[in-house]
Amino acid sequence: MTKGTFGPGALELRHLRCFLAIADEGNITRAAARLRITQPAASRTLAALEDALRARLVDRSTHHLTLTPEGRAFRDKAAVAVAAFEDALDVGRSVRRALRLGHAWSAAGAYTTPLLRRWRATHPDVPLELLRVDDRTAGLARGAVDAALLRGSVGTPGLVTELLYTEARVAAVPVDSALAGRGRLVLADLAGHTVALNTVSGTTTLDLWPVDARPTGTITVANTDDWLAAIAASRAVGVTTTATADLHPHPGVVYVPLPDAPPVPVFLARRDGPPSHPALRDLCALAHEVTGRD
């Protein structure tokens, strides 16, 4: 890294937002599209940030960008800084801003409506805002939400998780498939089919199957809507949890129990450190109460 042409004091919030978008997307072009700026502008902003910090934050040696150790450490600090800035602005807008709860798909499944209704009854002065954010941490790592409902393993540094419950897995098959009429399926029944994988926020990978009995092919999608569309069009089958069956019924898709697949844990996650919202602890307590865990 060359010696910086300006110091950290000259940095602006846009530098942090740009870096967090790149960290989430793993791609400068997609990050630029999210920020509604050009790819060269995003590259210049990242370079200016690295120059000011005198540290390499992003490893550009591969097609899919990865964060350096310095980048991973800075991501958590940048997310906290952006969230703190947004909280400061909220002071002038309302005494009690909405509590933002992120999810990448299916929220809390069948518990979603009870959770929202109970919150409204017990905290009428603090709106609970449910936000779908299509990334691995549902917007939590970049400060877009105060807490998030996350499924599967959560390995993002700087997050604290609490297990709420587990969900059984189900197969999702086209309504006219021979598999649709079965009362239950096993993973081996899907091995002869193409499987749709949500590589952005999904919990299903080929590791779910034994190495010698994996599906014949895969197609990748970025969100639940595209995943459902691919299955309904008979391009693939899928594996998901009962939450998807509860919240995303589809006329072209049938959900069939998949009892030999391991269940999926559902966590309530927040950023490490001081709560980003004064009602966050109340949300954690209510989420455990509604889902039945102490």
pLDDT at 2: 44
Rounded-to-integer distance, Cα 290 and Cα 50, Å: 45
214 and 231 co-located in one domain: yes
The three-class DSSP label of residue 29 is helix
Write out the residue range of the structural domain in which residue 137 sits. Answer: 94-166+265-291
Mean pLDDT of all residues in 125-148: 89
127 and 255 co-located in one domain: no
Query: Averaging pLDDT over each range in 21-35, 137-151, 238-252, which range is the top one?
Result: 238-252
Residue 244, pLDDT above cutoff 70: yes
For residue 84, the number of C-alpha atoms closer than 13 Å in the C-beta half-sphere is 11
pTM as predicted = 0.70
**Residue at 122 is within a domain:** yes
120 and 37 co-located in one domain: no
Residue 79, pLDDT above cutoff 90: no
Please state the domain count of the chain.
3
17, containing H or E segment: helix 13-25
Give the distance from CA 110 to its chain's centroid: 19
182 and 229 co-located in one domain: yes
pLDDT at 3: 44
Domain boundary among 88, 105, 129: 88
pLDDT tens readout for residues 10-63: 788 899 999 988 887 788 988 898 888 999 999 999 999 999 999 999 988 756
When pLDDT is cut at 50, 70 and 90, the band that residue 180 belongs to is very high
**Residue at 2 is within a domain:** no
pLDDT mean across residues, the chain: 88
175 and 241 co-located in one domain: yes
CATH number at residue 110: 3.40.190.10
pLDDT at 60: 80
Mean pLDDT of all residues in 165-191: 96
pLDDT at 1: 45
Domain boundary among 31, 60, 88: 88
Which two three-digit tokens encode residue 152? 């599967």
Residue 294, pLDDT above cutoff 60: no
